[in-house]
Structure 1
Amino acid sequence: MLRPVQKRTVAEEIIDQIKGLVREGTLKPGDRLPAERELAEQLSVSRASVREAVRALSLMGLVAVRPGEGTFLNEDVGTVFRGSVSAKLLMKKSQIIELCEARRLLEVALVRLAAKRATSDDLTDLRHCLFRMEQSLGTHQVFIREDYAFHLMVAKAAKNDIMADVLETVRDLLMEVQRKVVAVAGAPQRSFQFHKAVYEALVRQDGEGAAAAMEKHLQDVQEVVLAVYERSETGRTD
């Protein structure tokens, strides 16, 4: 059963409760979620928090929002859970490097495709996401979520479902890396500028420009997170 929210951010707790209902089989693929007002009442939260949680679940590929009909659990929701890679695996320096290498191979290719295939709706979604990133520069948890959303939107704009699914499987790892990055002074601002450069290149349909901007961004992420890792290993502080 759903229970009143008591800890963490409200949206995160809503997301975890819905995921829990899926795992235990209470919610099944194709099921319709309770209406926004009903969910808010059951969870003792605001409707705004419910909307935020639903938007995040949609980006994760767990639900589909159908205007005029409601929010439904996706038919392939099981693959999202089976394919998820736990952030607990990210423990060694070598694994951090391997993840960053994999991101370059995948996301640089995706952004080149997106430059050719992105629709006006894709670009609008990316622009809105970029705006939310800028507005959340002082709020790490929100910034991390919007950062991941931007990358997933690029993958979807590339119109290659298999590559987008691969990116989704390492979601937890990517967000864990980003938690380390945003804690470093100046890193979120740099990250935003890199994302802005990617977006502007996509608008120009400049595949090489978008690829170069993504490459610089991912290189910066690797350098920052490795520096954080090395400081934690040696016990040094700034």
Structure 2
Amino acid sequence: MAVTDEAIEKIKGMIVSGALRPGDRLPKESELAAELGLSRNSLREAVRALSLIRILDVRQGDGTYVTSLDPQLLLEAMGFVVDFHRDDTVLEFLAVRRILEPAATAMAASRISEEQLDVLDARLDALGGDPSVEELVACDLEFHRGIARGCGNSVLCSLLDGLSGPATRARVWRGLDRRDAVGRTLREHRAILGALRDRDAEAARSWATVHIASVEQWLRSAR
């Protein structure tokens, strides 16, 4: 194991064991290096690496702290990576969404509030019948985020948010025949909302599956 990797594992071990908790300040560099049996250089490299993936927060002139370790914070890096995917991997990301998103939608059927559903309904009403790509992307993103938030599982919500951000959605929509895609997408969104209002988990799951599969089908035929 490389020295820096060993340092990372030792800091990770302190966090996992509870020796360091969210919000805690790390001991001084010299003290921590001695405690872990590391050189100060390897410790410094480990801290830099863990700060990049949002495990640690380095505050100049103040010290280094363990972050909140909130799933949304830790999974932000995944969204950054997804935005750099190649066009030929779009379908692979959609396949993962087709596994996770119907599950989140089914969970939301019993957990999402009527107020949250009203907000989603109003967004669809405001979109109109001939939106621009940018308007469609923004609405689609907020629609699916709203349902994911309503599922009550922060990890699942963060995973879905990372899998398909604005850049990915824009690339998808620009590859579709918008005249067909807009109408069909809005109909499917309405069907998902109807199932959620009826608190019908299986119908919500089915419509979410149909919705993601439809996008996959359009992209396969367009390639």
SS in structure 2 of the partner of residue 88 of structure 1: coil
Are 2:141 and 1:145 aligned?
no
How high is the TM-score relative to the length of structure 1? 0.58
What is the percentage of aligned positions where both structures have the same residue?
Answer: 22
95, 104, 115: which one aligns with 1:110? 104
Asked if 2 retains the 8 angstrom alpha-carbon contact of 1:111 and 1:207, the reply is: yes
Which residue matches 1:180? 175
Shifted more, 124-133 versus 146-155: the winner is: 124-133
Which residue matches 2:94? 100
Deviation at 1:100?
A: 1.8
Mapped partners of 1:82, 1:88: distance in 2:
11
Deviation at 1:179?
A: 3.2
Mapped partners of 2:168, 2:133: distance in 1:
16
Are 2:80 and 1:87 aligned?
no
Deviation at 1:79?
A: 4.6
148, 153, 157: which one aligns with 2:150? 157
Mapped partners of 1:163, 1:178: distance in 2:
24
Deviation at 1:138?
A: 3.1
Which residues of 2 match residues 20-169 of structure 1 at below 5 A? 79=74, 81-84=76-79, 85-92=81-88, 95-133=89-127, 135=128, 137-169=130-162
Which residue matches 1:24? none
Count of aligned residue pairs for this structure pair: 151
Q: Deviations over 1:132-191 (max 9, x none)?
A: 33x16332210111011100000001011101101111213244223323x443111100
Asked if 2 retains the 8 angstrom alpha-carbon contact of 1:87 and 1:176, the reply is: no
Q: What is the root-mean-square deviation of aligned Cα atoms in Å?
A: 2.1
Q: 1:225 to 1:156 in 2, by over 3 A?
A: same
Asked if 1 retains the 8 angstrom alpha-carbon contact of 2:129 and 2:183, the reply is: no
- The letter for the 2-side match of 1:158 is C
- Unaligned segments of structure 1, at least 5 residues: 1-74, 231-238
Q: 1:80 to 1:176 in 2, by over 3 A?
A: farther
With a CA cutoff of 8 Å and minimum separation of 6, indicate the structure with the bigger relative contact order: 2
Mapped partners of 1:199, 1:91: distance in 2:
30
Q: Deviations over 1:42-93 (max 9, x none)?
A: xxxxxxxxxxxxxxxxxxxxxxxxxxxxxxxxx878657533234331321x
Mapped partners of 2:123, 2:190: distance in 1:
10
Asked if 2 retains the 8 angstrom alpha-carbon contact of 1:148 and 1:175, the reply is: no
Q: 1:136 to 1:90 in 2, by over 3 A?
A: farther
SS in structure 2 of the partner of residue 147 of structure 1: helix
SS in structure 2 of the partner of residue 89 of structure 1: coil
Which residues of 2 match residues 203-222 of structure 1 at below 5 A? 203-222=197-216
- The letter for the 1-side match of 2:77 is R
Mapped partners of 2:104, 2:175: distance in 1:
24
Larger Rg over CA atoms: 2
